[in-house]
Amino acid sequence: MGHVTEIQHPLIEHHLCTVRDKSTVPSHFRAAVNRLSVLVGVYATDDLAVEPVSVQTPIAPADCHQVTRRIALVPILRAGLGMVDPLLNLLPDAAVWHLGLYRNEETAEPVEYYDKLPKSGAPNTALVLDPMLATGGSIELAVRRLMEWGVEEIRVLSIIASRDGVERVQRDFPKVKLYVAAIDPVLNEQSYIVPGLGDAGDRIFDTPQPG
């Protein structure tokens, strides 16, 4: 599937059960999202450029390697916030820039409401964080904005994606790398991923919608 990686790992399968289960309480849901984000993040960064350095251990000099590129995490508000802390644990020197998008429930299209990206100083690599890639509309807006900013390389990290959303990202942005824990087959009439996990933002922040 080109630049799309659906990660296969027993721990991913285990934690996907937790986030899919509608009876999972918010605290356990957040913890599972955290663990899945770490697993996806490790795979999504396995080819970052590094440079050799020498450090002094308590015993002797040691040859090591450090990541050389300037990296930014770009969570799609608000669900993407659930993936920030685990990625910062892996990349503590990464900058964090927020893009606010919400879903219009009538059209299922994303609406942008927050964008504070500066005009200059773009990082070398941006990791776009969004637990759910449904129609691909939010990711499309985010990727186009990051390209306008001047980001050289964009990678998208998600927990569950729909096949339609994956194909849209591949078609519109063939150079963007996409890393997901699972790809589900279809979207329903409301453009929710099936079987999916429901609304990731509501479940992370315990804000169920009325009705």
Yes or no: say if 12 and 42 are a contact pair by the CB < 8 Å rule.
no
SS3 39: helix
| Residue 94 domain boundaries | 4-47+70-205
The dihedral of CA 151, 155, 158, 161: what is its sign? positive
How much is the pLDDT for 105? 61
How much is the pLDDT for 98? 86
Q: Is 125 a catalytic residue?
A: no
Q: Is 207 a catalytic residue?
A: no
Strands 71-77 and 110-115: unpaired
Report the distance separating Cα 6 and Cα 79, nearest Å: 20
How much is the pLDDT for 95? 93
Q: Is 46 a catalytic residue?
A: no
How much is the pLDDT for 116? 78
Q: Is 107 a catalytic residue?
A: yes
How much is the pLDDT for 119? 79
Total domain count for the chain?
A: 1
Render each residue's pLDDT in the chain as its tens digit; 211 residues. 568 999 999 999 999 999 999 999 999 999 999 999 999 999 999 999 999 999 999 999 999 999 988 999 999 988 899 999 999 999 999 999 988 776 666 665 667 777 778 878 899 999 999 999 999 988 998 999 899 899 999 999 999 999 999 999 999 999 999 999 999 999 999 889 999 999 999 999 998 765 4
Whether 145 maps to a domain, the answer reads yes
Yes or no: say if 127 and 71 are a contact pair by the CB < 8 Å rule.
yes
- Residue 128 pairs in a beta bridge with 74, 156
Whether 60 maps to a domain, the answer reads no
Instruction: Please name the residues in contact with 36: beta carbons below 8 A apart, sequence gap of 6 or more.
Output: 12, 15, 16, 19, 159, 181
- pTM for the full model? 0.91
How much is the pLDDT for 107? 65
Whether 172 maps to a domain, the answer reads yes
Whether 65 maps to a domain, the answer reads no
Task: Report the run of H or E that residue 97 belongs to, with start and end.
Answer: none
Alpha carbon of residue 156 to chain centroid: 5
Whether 29 maps to a domain, the answer reads yes
Whether 62 maps to a domain, the answer reads no
Neighbours of 165 (CB within 10 A): 28
Whether 57 maps to a domain, the answer reads no
Catalytic residue (one of 21, 68, 85, 107): 107
Whether 82 maps to a domain, the answer reads yes
| CATH code at position 18 | 3.40.50.2020
Catalytic residue (one of 78, 103, 145, 203): 103
C-alpha separations of 143 from 34, 75, 148 in Å: 23, 12, 9
Give me the amino acid identity at 53: V
